[in-house]
Structure 1
């Protein structure tokens, strides 16, 4: 195995587990202690992990740190477009679809306006605006109420109460982070409760998450990885992460 391949696998392991030990990496890769320590030094210099005594830990945003919608909308745009282009193929005409807040789901909404006879349930102001702007007579949009978050989501008891009365064919869910131990997460406690209500309302669940979400852990878990019938991500996701996700989600689609 080339050093670059080994280092990528180390990054995937750190992001998935939160931390790794030198001894475990030595056993996994069959190389010397010194080789692994050099790998960790290289990766620490690149800023992709933090080297600690006996191993390394993940680098990521604080668990309760929530970027705004505008800030998130300009990052990983190519990946989000590719994910949206594939995910729209999974939405049949005439379906009742729930769409969570987020820039990945908003990117998908721009394509969903072309799918006929949709009934859309959403707690996202930007997503609702996409459908309102199109003004199609064959589309029905149900916008929940609640408290507005930095991601322009409507969350809280009002939104949850509304969602508990609904049943939808399909949920299109955006997430802040995903990992093997924490599942799909968000940095906003109220948004997590609302997203869990969306998950409960849906017969089929499709998660949209680009590769940068791997190993990121928000303060609250929305769902376990196994709750996703489909996960659509991009080819920036490393091999180890793909293997771990493929074992847990219903279907992994990499674009």
Structure 2
């Protein structure tokens, strides 16, 4: 189990039970006491839990004006993200150039591209680049070619800023897979990070088609900075827990609404 997967399990347990003990995590994850403590330390630095003697406890959820760390978000709505990612990965055609933006749902889509032949992947996400690099080391080969933009990393491990924007604007991609901090009828797609919103805008302008991946909890959330309207979206991929009002708006505004259920993961 990768570190990211372990930490997602830990976060699920903390959110379910309110607290976890190191001894229980050692048994549950099949790793050493030291590995568990390192995972808890990383999650505590990300603000997703609070370390206490012998374990960890839940912390309050961040507001929409704050940007949670990548690992803090990885454990949220994991089943819904898996279903969304599977459906979105099906939009990627063999031999195409696809951009994968930052965020945990887009990361899950990238994980589903392992066996799509002939891909070139442009990304500003450090975790996505690491994941695809791991694919390249597998004996069966066929891993995508990866182009990583420059830029300054955010708390969510996305590279943003003028260097990233300049690199992205020089490229043209067939499909962009992008998540969002928040989605709403009035504000469209939003982010709590101004620089990330600007880089997201550059990614959108470089793409022939835009696929937004967002589980139902993102609807009605508004971040600080808007980077796209709903009418710019070619595909909006969410899970089947999305409310009827949201479905009606998205059906009217986006090119195509795709809803994935747990059995689709």
Report if the CA contact (8 A) 2:164-2:199 is conserved.
Answer: yes
Alpha carbons 1:62, 1:218 under 8 Å: kept: no
**Please, which of 201, 207, 214 is the counterpart of residue 209 of structure 1?**
214
User: Normalising to structure 1: TM-score of the pair?
Assistant: 0.75
Cross-structure match for 1:133: 134
- What is the aligned partner in structure 1 of residue 113 from structure 2? 112
C-alpha displacement of 1:61: 5.6
SS at match of 2:253: coil
Partner of 2:71: 70
- 2:95 and 2:198 map into 1 onto residues whose CA distance is 28
Give the superposition deviation at 1:242: 0.5
1-structure distance, mates of 2:62, 2:218: 11
Give the CA deviation at 1:137: 5.2
SS class of match (1:67)? coil
* Aligned residues between the structures: 196
* Residue in 2 that maps onto 1:142: 147
1:54-95 C-alpha deviation (Å, 9 max, x unpaired):
xxxxxx964421011011000100000000111111110001
How many Å separate the matches in 2 of 1:78 and 1:201? 31
- Shift, 1:245, TM fit: 1.1
1:212-251 equivalences in 2 (<5 Å): 212-251=217-256
TM-superposed deviation, 1:139: 2.1
Rg larger for: 1
**Residues 135-186 of structure 1, C-alpha deviations (whole Å, 9 max, x = no match):** 1455210000111101000000000000110000000011111001100111
Alignment of 1:171-190 (within 5 A): 171-190=176-195
Residues in 2 aligned to 1:238 and 1:164: alpha-carbon distance in whole angstroms: 36
Name 1:51's counterpart in structure 2. Answer: none
Task: Give the SS at the match of 1:205.
Answer: strand
What CA RMSD, in Å, does the superposition of the two structures yield over aligned residues?
Answer: 1.2
Task: Give, in whole Å, the separation in 2 of the partners of 1:143 and 1:90.
Answer: 21
Contact 1:173 1:207 in 2 (8 A): yes
How far, CA to CA, are the matches of 2:64 and 2:130 in structure 1? 29
Say yes or no: does 1:100 pair with 2:115.
Answer: no
For residues 17-52 of structure 1, the C-alpha deviation after alignment (integer angstroms, 9 at most, x for no partner) is xxxxxxxxxxxxxxxxxxxxxxxxxxxxxxxxxxxx
Matched, 1:91 2:122: no
Q: Secondary structure at the match of 2:130?
A: helix
Structure 1 segments of 4 or more deviating over 3 A? 60-63
- TM-score, with structure 2 as normaliser: 0.72
CA contact (8 A) 1:61 1:216 kept: no
Give the 3-state SS of the residue equivalent to 1:90 in structure 2.
Answer: coil
Query: Aligned residue for 2:205?
Result: 200
Aligned with 1:162: secondary structure?
Answer: helix
* SS across alignment from 2:94: coil
2:139 paired with 1:121 = no
Distance 1:240 1:218 in 2: 20
Measured after TM superposition, the shift of residue 235 of structure 1 is 1.1
1:164 is the counterpart of 2:165:
no
Cα distance, 1:114 vs. partner? 1.3
| CA shift digits 1:107-159 (9 cap, x unpaired) | 11111121111000000000011110011455210000111101000000000
